[in-house]
Amino acid sequence: MASTSARPGLWSIRGPMTQRRYWLFAAVGLLLPMVLWWAVANSGWVEKVFMPAPGSVWERTVLWFDEDHLMADMAISIYRVTAGWLLSAVIAMPIGLLIGTFRPVQALLEPLTDFIRYMPAVAFIPLVMLWVGIDEGSKIAIIFIGTFFQMILMVAEDVRRVPAAQIEAAQTLGATRGEIIRLVLLPSAKPALLDTMRVTMGWAWTYLVVAELVAANSGLGYAILKAQRFLQTDKIFAGIILIGLIGLVIDQLFRLVHRKAFPWMHLKS
């Protein structure tokens, strides 16, 4: 009888996949939409003004870079997102830590936070304009509102996920409350916290366009909004793709930091 491999098929549930096949599929997944876009744009079915071709989006991007301060738009947008997100992280971390550690704090703050996070950040724009004004502060405030309340709940959950046995082992070795927070809860939750920071950074970017609705005169979101007024769909495309690319780069940076900061998590036994 001929020897046959018992390797399960490609489409078996959670089946195995070789590295080469994986990257092959990934390449198809990335290139196929590009090809479809190119095909549809050049087929003449859709008017250029609704769907510009990849080539014209590229040309518009180059033009934006050469004549219309693309770098300045990117810089100010990155600044706004980072500032709003950082402010949110600096305040949400200790609050989330307290919610995840002490039941009274949880009772006091978690239902409130749950309630507020369902309020749409966009609806706060008029209030923010009244309270903060229309300068940089207001854009940062919108991004802050969009991420802060979610972040608190996620940080609290990260801290709550620390296994009870880790805490109890420290208690039976004589650790005080402060020592448990400092030597067990924080280091144990750190990798999850970094992941939370990565995910919320992504959400902060989604609030950029909304934030730049408020009396902005620079930034990627503002450029997209302005392009709409002049029917420059290619520029809208360029802006959206740029935001996506910046997000991808930041996401990869977070993952790199994760691997460098927590090597013990990425070990193979």
Q: Where do contacts with another protein occur on this chain (CB under 8 A)?
A: 163, 165-166, 168-176, 179, 183-184, 187-188, 190, 262, 264-265, 267, 269
Q: Least CB distance from residue 61 to another protein, whole Å? A: 43
Do the beta carbons of residue 210 and residue 77 sit within 8 Å?
A: no
Q: Least CB distance from residue 176 to another protein, whole Å? A: 7
Given the complex with another protein, which of 123 and 173 has the nearer CB atom? 173
Q: Least CB distance from residue 157 to another protein, whole Å? A: 18
Positive or negative, the CA dihedral 221, 223, 228, 232 is negative
Positive or negative, the CA dihedral 64, 69, 73, 74 is positive
Given the complex with another protein, which of 78 and 175 has the nearer CB atom? 175
Q: Least CB distance from residue 259 to another protein, whole Å? A: 14
- Determine the Cα–Cα distance for residues 172 and 3; give it in Å rounded to an integer: 58
Q: Where are the beta strands (DSSP E) in 141-214?
A: none
Given the complex with another protein, which of 68 and 168 has the nearer CB atom? 168
Output the CA–CA distances (angstroms, integers) from residue 194 to 37, 148, 157, 259, in the order listed: 35, 15, 13, 11
Q: Least CB distance from residue 229 to another protein, whole Å? A: 52
User: Token pair of 144, please?
Assistant: 């802050």
Given the complex with another protein, which of 79 and 262 has the nearer CB atom? 262
Q: Least CB distance from residue 264 to another protein, whole Å? A: 4
Q: Least CB distance from residue 244 to another protein, whole Å? A: 33
Of the candidates 53, 248, 214, the residue with the CA atom closest to the CA atom of residue 124: 214
Which long-range contacts does 120-128 make (Cβ < 8 Å, 24+ apart)? 121/145, 121/146, 121/207, 121/210, 122/210, 125/210, 125/213, 125/214, 128/214
Do the beta carbons of residue 227 and residue 236 sit within 8 Å?
A: yes
Given the complex with another protein, which of 11 and 264 has the nearer CB atom? 264
Do the beta carbons of residue 126 and residue 214 sit within 8 Å?
A: no
Give kind and range of the element (H or E) at residue 133. Answer: none
Given the complex with another protein, which of 132 and 192 has the nearer CB atom? 192
Given the complex with another protein, which of 180 and 210 has the nearer CB atom? 180
